[in-house]
Amino acid sequence: MWVATVLHQPVVPVPPFFTSRLNPKLFHEPKPLRFGFPLPPLKLKVLATKKQLQTQESDSEDLPTHKKSNDRSFDLGWIPAFPHVLIASMSNFLFGYHIGVMNGPIISIARELGFEGDSILEGLVVSIFIAGAFFGSISCGSLMEKLGCRRTFQIDTMPLILGAIVSAQAHSLEEILLGRFLVGLGIGVNTVLVPIYISEVAPTKYRGSLGTLSQIGTCLGIILSLFLGVPAEHDLHWWRTMFYIASIPGLLLALGMQFAVESPRWLCRVGNIKAAEAIILNLWGRSEVDKAIEEFQSVIKNDGSDAESRWLELLEEPHSRVAFIGGALFVLQQFAGINGVLYFSSLTFQDVGIASGALASLFVGLTNFAGALCASYFMDTQGRKKLLIGSYLGMAVSMFLIVLAINFPLDEDFSHNLSILGTLMYIFTFAIGAGPVTGLIIPELSSNKTRGKIMSFSFSVHWVCNFLVGLLFLDLVEIFGVAPVYAGFGGVSLLSAIFAYYFLVETKGRSLEEIEMSLSSNVTAKR
């Protein structure tokens, strides 16, 4: 997951999802439409010292390096791809909105639908979302391979829109459960699909920065849901309006995807070379067309990605290594404690006199958003690996600050303020690295053929871990206390930094095909 989410009481894990086979020939790829940015990248020169003009060494020993420019400049070459990425990121806006939409209204929903006071049913209504997301995530890879990203986005809006409307009109427990499950199903597909789409559509130079738009979208969705949730404290029926509002972004996403481009890599995979060339010309520039198509076709020829991938291929090198890294990154991310910290953040704010849960959540949301903005800059300047290591080290320091404040309270006010500082610092450092990098680097490391299935597997692991953290967290706090549990989160954060240092390679500034060919050649050399 790319952003901090709200802890929910989970339900029992669900079995893997079996997808139906669809014929991609039934879906014809329309001619790609432009958003009005046909101009080549505009470069604006700025002054720089000789020292600033020196090139920066690559962080990776395993991947080939690009030639670096000798001038310090910034350009607007990201603009042609920006509208398409922005439309895809609307999926994450919905993700954030549905995370936050249950924060306050769950009490009103329980009262109106007749299960107020039953903590198990209240937790089930909130957490059925996770079960739906698991199903959606595990099915997304196969759907995307058959239909392409655009059509999968549009089909996926159906459970999102229908789920929101069913939830808004619910008059029984069964109806609200169905609505939340449908929404979770759609969100599960989108969490896999968005990073794949962005990584395959964005120009190599801007892939990291544009990739953070998904996290920014999620943050904005959470913040909006918190603002809209304020009237729910006084209007017991306001929750229905909030769910009706949730259907609007789904409609906009379905319409917007009609004008967005398809992934040029998927088009090459199904043999539509001319459409892929047109998209690359429009988004990446004329100079990239021949090189990109040549790389696409070379990778397709080498790994046979024009044929449908199989799940068992994830057990073969180099796919097994990437699947292991993807699953491990999400296990470490979740057990580093983001949901637990958020659960106790409201109590931490209450200790310093901020009794309003909405105000405390707003502080958390704005901190999350600030971290996402910083990530959009550092992703392509510092690189993924450095950002992830620094993020986890910052999270570990934050956890140990809170443990220090709890175990060695020299002064009550000072300890409370130190806890607030540690909480906000933890959320900020999570949002700047552990959140966005995890979702972005997995499709970058994955091969063209197995990218969808590796992402499906990785995110299904994420949802299972999300469930387990929610299930075990309160019991662990009751048994051991807050400080030992937070110390454990700090320890997992340190372990995550070590894992990133030894297992990840830097992907900044390299095309997906260069990364894939390099990893494949490394495997061949070891044999």
Q: Which of 308, 341, 368 is the last residue of a domain?
A: 308
Question: Which is nearest to 169 in space by CA: 59, 69, 243?
Answer: 243
Token readout for 262 is 């398809």
* Owner of token pair 């490391």: 445
Q: Which is higher by pLDDT, 54 or 283?
A: 283
Q: What is the pTM of this model?
A: 0.83
Same-domain status, 349 and 225 = no
Residue by residue, DSSP assigns 445-489 as HS-TTTHHHHHHHHHHHHHHHHHHHHHHHHHHHHHH-HHHHHHHH
Same-domain status, 95 and 232 = yes
Same-domain status, 327 and 211 = no
- As a whole number, mean pLDDT of residues 240-244 equals 94
Same-domain status, 397 and 472 = yes
- As a whole number, mean pLDDT of residues 265-287 equals 94
Same-domain status, 253 and 286 = no
The C-alpha atoms of residue 474 and residue 34 are separated, in whole angstroms, by 51
Residues 6+ positions from 189 with CB-CB distance below 8 Å: 136, 137, 139, 140, 143, 152, 156
Do the domain assignments include residue 364?
Answer: yes
Residue by residue, DSSP assigns 373-384 as HHHHHHTTTT-H
Same-domain status, 341 and 210 = no
**Is residue 44 classed as helix, strand or coil in its secondary structure?**
strand
pLDDT at 68: 43
Do the domain assignments include residue 342?
Answer: yes
Q: What are 151-172's pLDDT values in tens digits?
A: 999 999 999 999 999 999 999 9
**Percent of the chain at pLDDT above 90?**
59
| 359 has a pLDDT exceeding 80 | no
Same-domain status, 111 and 90 = yes
Token readout for 491 is 């320890």
Sign of the dihedral defined by the CA atoms of residues 10, 14, 20, 22, in that order: positive
pLDDT at 151: 96
Same-domain status, 217 and 361 = no
Q: How far is CA 465 from CA 214, 227, 469, in A?
A: 21, 29, 6
Question: Which is nearest to 454 in space by CA: 331, 309, 333?
Answer: 309
Q: Which of 246, 262, 278 is the last residue of a domain?
A: 262
Do the domain assignments include residue 137?
Answer: yes
Same-domain status, 434 and 472 = yes
Q: What are 404-416's pLDDT values in tens digits?
A: 988 887 777 788 8
Do the domain assignments include residue 17?
Answer: no
Domain count along the chain:
3
Q: Do 436 and 2 meet the contact criterion of CB atoms below 8 Å apart?
A: yes
* Owner of token pair 């499709």: 443
Burial 307-338 (b: 16+ CB within 10 A, else e): eebeeebbeeebbeebbebbbbbbbbbbbbbb
Same-domain status, 320 and 427 = yes
Question: Which is nearest to 419 in space by CA: 398, 433, 449?
Answer: 398
| 26 has a pLDDT exceeding 70 | no
| 354 has a pLDDT exceeding 70 | no
pLDDT at 417: 84
Same-domain status, 372 and 243 = no
Q: What are 494-513's pLDDT values in tens digits?
A: 999 999 999 999 999 999 99
Domain containing 452 — which CATH number? 1.20.1250.20
Do the domain assignments include residue 301?
Answer: yes
The C-alpha atoms of residue 176 and residue 170 are separated, in whole angstroms, by 5
Do the domain assignments include residue 180?
Answer: yes
The whole domain housing 290 covers 264-308
Same-domain status, 338 and 484 = yes
Q: Which is higher by pLDDT, 107 or 87?
A: 87
Do the domain assignments include residue 195?
Answer: yes
Do the domain assignments include residue 323?
Answer: yes
